[in-house]
Structure 1
């Protein structure tokens, strides 16, 4: 048994040595350290299909388009923060500045009711033989919000302020594309009379300086939009109804062609106030 065991050990040892010699690597498995200073480009290029250079490893800049080059060449187009470009706005010409100041001074001088947009003059107390008529502190209005009145109209400041608000917020925006509107046609203002001039009726708000009647609107090109002709015809119908609705709020009473036969050709606007709110018809 001992000789057989010895021979087996010799055979196993021989096989082990053969396997070890057959699988041994030709090169060391330890990685080679990188050079510390330069890369041998010749050695690298010899192992690659295409040569590698420093120039083709960098990104290539896009060519400048002719349009950009043309804009950059113009001396007037300086960079935003160029030292040759001032960030301060150009000063107004002195003549223009004086003209603006003169216009504002003139408007302020001709304004009433504490609003530069309301132009006219103060006329003081307006008296009448009829006790119910008259205005305590009357003004005579010639324009509101830059829109003139066809005739100077007497009223109190409350009515003037309501008229200015209506023109500014309703009349001018409504006729902006068609106009602009430059004038209001005044059918009536202060007058000591009864409502609708009927005998025995109550004194109208016109007799208290709290009403004005508007019959039409004049555009900058001379076109006239009248309540009588435009109320039931497009496109004036839509615009007239819009300004009629716009008056309901600044004014306490707004009457138009749909109210009665007395107002078929104008809007009656007055500043009388009611507990139930504005009366618009």
Structure 2
């Protein structure tokens, strides 16, 4: 064993003798490299300042095919501005854009209707003309009107004499005259009503001992005849024809009580309408 170890050392001795004392390092670069620049070099490069390279400009008027394709594919953005608020519009614009509040729609168009004055009217309705009266009292129990009005015309139709009753009766009269009376007469335009009676403190049908009539409460009106635009006149007593019957019938439901010729023998010469309320509905004869 010792022999072989010595033999190994004898063979390896020459390799150790040739090994360098320290590792071989690469030679260092020169401390500075001088570059001779031509006289036409830019001043920034000559001064040692790095310059940013720029592409050469294209010839004027030349557009690349690719650029044209991109430009054609871009759709310019359209900005839609909101409509100006009313406060930002001028007075003429507002006058054209905003219709009047009192303009009703007729056949797709707005028609301006002039406002009617309440002066000379009662019950808050410009078509009911007359005057407000002081409260009417009476020593007879059941008679009187808390808020009476004296009416001279309704819906353009004159009364032969002023009628005194309350506003509930006045408004019922207007509704009947517009929706019942005039449609019944058709083309015959009524211009005046003959008023036979209104407020009067009395018993029903003037019968002694009977209950107080609705006339005594300011809730009734009696009509004796009709005057038309052509000057002709029909009375209930002489001309109780089919047309007047139709107008009479149209009052049922608008008024609580409607009486006329043939009802009870007391209304042969006039139509009686009142706004009494009944549990079983209107009383129409």
TM-score by length of 2: 0.59
Unaligned runs of 5+ in 1: 1-87, 89-99, 232-236
Q: Unaligned 5+ residue runs, structure 2?
A: 1-95, 97-112
Q: Does 1:104 align with 2:104?
A: no
Q: What corresponds to 2:156 in structure 1?
A: 146
Give CA-to-partner distance per residue, 1:166-218, whole Å, 9 cap, x none: 001111222232x2100110111000000111111111000000000001101
Distance between the aligned counterparts of 1:110 and 1:123, measured in 2?
A: 13
- Residue 104 of structure 1 aligns to a residue whose secondary structure is coil
Provide the residue aligned with 1:229 in structure 2: 238
Alignment of 1:118-267 (within 5 A): 118-177=128-187, 179-231=188-240, 237-267=241-271
Cα RMSD (Å):
1.6
Decide which structure has greater helix share.
1
For 2:186 and 2:284, locate their aligned partners in 1 and report how far apart those are by CA, in whole Å.
24
- For 1:147 and 1:175, the matched residues in 2 are separated by 14
Match of 1:8 in 2: none
Structure with bigger gyration radius: 2
Is this contact kept in 1: 2:185–2:247, CA < 8 A? no
Using structure 1 for the length normalisation, give the TM-score. Answer: 0.60
8 Å CA contact 2:201, 2:216 repeated in 1: yes
SS in 2 for 1:135: coil
Q: Distance in 2 between matches of 1:272 and 1:104?
A: 31
